Structure 1
Amino acid sequence: MTSSTDPKTDSEPDTTSDEGVQQRDPQAAIDAQSEGRRAELDDRIFEHSAGDQQEGVPFVGAGPGDPRLLTVAGKELLEAADLVVHAGSLVNSELLDAYCAQAELVNSVGKDLEELIPLMRDAYEDGDTVVRLHSGDPAIYGAALEQMDALEHEGVPTYFVPGVTSAFAASATLRTQLTLNEVANHVAITRPQGKTLTEDEDHISEFVGMGDVTTCIYLGTHAVRDTMDRLLEDGHDPETPTAVVYHASWPDEDVIVGTIETIADRVEDAGYRASALVLIGDAVTGAGYERSFLYGDWANRGSERTSE
């Protein structure tokens, strides 16, 4: 995208710090990058794959919690970093201790873009190796792109490094698959209505109503009661399997299993209001699935043709 390195235009407002240094408005940078993306794709899309180490500031997914579930690429980048800007308590401190011992650590919680962007830009321009560390995978409810766009507009290249998202850690804990033959053909990653989503934008009931969907609800621990009440009001089967996995893969991980009808009481009894993933659907228990075609007659079709 050509706008990633374009100089600031006259229409982009500046702010001036106490030191008299001009700073660009992050919102103007985000808007400019978005418009540039409409006009032309970034050439780097065709030059790099997800596993490449690239120039610039990597936005690394820390994984669900357990330091061992950090990717090899993420581990290597953190160990080489001079500055790690991390997502506070959403990232396990054991991971920071294990891989960031040599780096300056900055907690991003409570900091807005007007503070974060100059911080990372200045460190990068001073020659420091900078890593932006998000929880889970930055592509899932990570608010990463706005930071990347603001940095790109400042002339600082960025790129994604994927991480293990909590839905995958939760399925591993539950010893089941999110997709199962004849049980769940689809996975929906969603969040409930609230400050970010309006009632019309909440599609949880629609996903559950499809029947063969495993619905994974992020950022909804506080709204389990409201969510389940709406599902019951919409006529969904109260016995539909439902699980809540608190802090998936962390040392204090907790698993609560129930149904649409019972799960809210159990979550409230446990006292959880945040940091849990909600899963709804028959794949939660893994019951009733059919053998796949992969290792049946279909798998032997090649050898049968060879023997003819």
Structure 2
Amino acid sequence: MTDDAASDAAATPTDSPTPQDAIDAASADRRTGRDPRVYDHTAGDVQDGVPFIGAGPGDPGLLTVTGKELVEDADLVVHAGSLVNSELLEAYCADAETVSSVGKDLEALIPLMRDAHEAGRTVVRLHSGDPAIYGAALEQMDALEQAGVPAYVVPGVTSAFAASATLRTQLTLNGTANHVAFTRPQGRTLDPEDDHISEFVEMGDVTTCIYLGTHAIPDVMDRLLEDGHDPDTPVTVVYHASWPDEDVIDGTVETIGDLVEDAGYRASALVVIGEAGAGAGYERSYLYGDWANRNGSEGEADD
């Protein structure tokens, strides 16, 4: 056994719970009740332990104030590799050790963060976008908690919201789209029967936002055409939303596949299907119409 291997063995006793054990245990616990911290803290609170921070879609300015402050104070920042803009790391992590999580499994990541935390270092886990959307954050948090390290989430701006801002529209528009679906296409990690993109599009008043599917755009559109959807349905692809090299490609279910292939994009784009992505065909909302003049009443109104 090498010195490094002996050190690793000493640091991780054979009877320690594995990350999978931690995930299973935490999932079972949640079936019987909520963690009491749910009732003690809001999403904006800075708490004990390792924060899982949403870095936002790319532009460093779209990192939240709380996220920026926590990152600037960190000794160790474990980040999502090229999914986090290097400009953000340079701007806010100059005094921290930065480690990419790319290529590291839970068995490597958890000891890395645990050991740093136990050594008294301030640790931050930096995810792209918002950890709640395809972030795989909870399994890391559960494994850390099982190892005695508390963890919590600091929300971020997800790419669908950055894309909507770039397109100068809304994902919901009165008379056009009453619902939004965040989804992903079938592939290595999603079975065909769990791909509901066609169902969302069929509903008509849904803005369908496809994550993790840039490489699959031609196949997705072919399936929509096979399912009988209108080939003229608007589709917009926003590559690297909010990054300096952001690109917007407008098309339809029939044309967008070829357009994206011609552009050469295979990753890091957000796909928006529906009229709302174009900001077209909507109606004036009630909020600033008749409802606003209704006896001077106050409160919420539907858009």
Same fold at TM > 0.5: yes
Deviates more, 1:228-237 or 1:28-37: 28-37
Deviates more, 1:278-287 or 1:202-211: 278-287
Q: Does 1:153 align with 2:146?
A: yes
Q: Does 1:266 align with 2:259?
A: yes
Partner Cα separation in structure 2 for residue 263 and residue 140 of structure 1: 24
Query: In the alignment, residue 169 of structure 1 is paired with which amino acid?
Result: A
CA shift for structure 1 position 284: 1.4
Q: In the alignment, what sits opposite 1:243?
A: 236
Q: Does 1:284 align with 2:274?
A: no
Show CA shifts across 1:13-50 (max 9, x none): xx986452314311111111111111221000000000
The root-mean-square deviation of aligned C-alpha atoms, in Å, is 1.4
* Sequence identity (%): 77
Query: In the alignment, residue 196 of structure 1 is paired with which amino acid?
Result: T
Query: In the alignment, residue 29 of structure 2 is paired with which amino acid?
Result: G
Which secondary structure state, in structure 2, belongs to the residue aligned with residue 261 of structure 1?
coil
Q: Does 1:165 align with 2:155?
A: no
CA shift for structure 1 position 57: 0.3
Q: Does 1:142 align with 2:132?
A: no
Show CA shifts across 1:263-301 (max 9, x none): 001000000000001010011111110000000110111
Which runs of structure 2 are paired with 1:67-146 in the superposition (5 Å)? 67-146=60-139
CA 1:82–1:266 in structure 2 vs 1: closer, same or farther (change >3 Å)? same
Question: What are structure 2's unaligned runs of at least 5 residues?
Answer: 299-303
Q: In the alignment, what sits opposite 2:290?
A: 297
Q: In the alignment, what sits opposite 1:53?
A: 46
Partner Cα separation in structure 2 for residue 301 and residue 181 of structure 1: 19
Q: In the alignment, what sits opposite 1:205?
A: 198
Which runs of structure 2 are paired with 1:185-200 in the superposition (5 Å)? 185-200=178-193
Query: In the alignment, residue 37 of structure 1 is paired with which amino acid?
Result: R
Which secondary structure state, in structure 1, belongs to the residue aligned with residue 47 of structure 2?
coil
Query: In the alignment, residue 118 of structure 1 is paired with which amino acid?
Result: P
Question: What are structure 1's unaligned runs of at least 5 residues?
Answer: 1-14
Q: Does 1:20 align with 2:10?
A: yes
Query: In the alignment, residue 271 of structure 1 is paired with which amino acid?
Result: G
Query: In the alignment, residue 292 of structure 1 is paired with which amino acid?
Result: S
Which secondary structure state, in structure 1, belongs to the residue aligned with residue 31 of structure 2?
helix
Which secondary structure state, in structure 1, belongs to the residue aligned with residue 182 of structure 2?
strand
Q: In the alignment, what sits opposite 1:11?
A: none
Show CA shifts across 1:230-267 (max 9, x none): 00000101000001000000000011000000000100
Partner Cα separation in structure 2 for residue 35 and residue 304 of structure 1: 46
Which secondary structure state, in structure 2, belongs to the residue aligned with residue 265 of structure 1?
helix
Show CA shifts across 1:148-196 (max 9, x none): 0000011110000000000000011111100000000000000000011
Which secondary structure state, in structure 2, belongs to the residue aligned with residue 24 of structure 1?
coil
Show CA shifts across 1:115-173 (max 9, x none): 10001001111111100000000000000000000000111100000000000000111
Partner Cα separation in structure 1 for residue 48 and residue 266 of structure 2: 39
Show CA shifts across 1:48-106 (max 9, x none): 00000001100000000000000001000000000000000000000000111111000
Q: In the alignment, what sits opposite 2:301?
A: none
Query: In the alignment, residue 10 of structure 2 is paired with which amino acid?
Result: G
Query: In the alignment, residue 228 of structure 2 is paired with which amino acid?
Result: G
Question: Normalization by structure 1: what TM-score?
Answer: 0.92
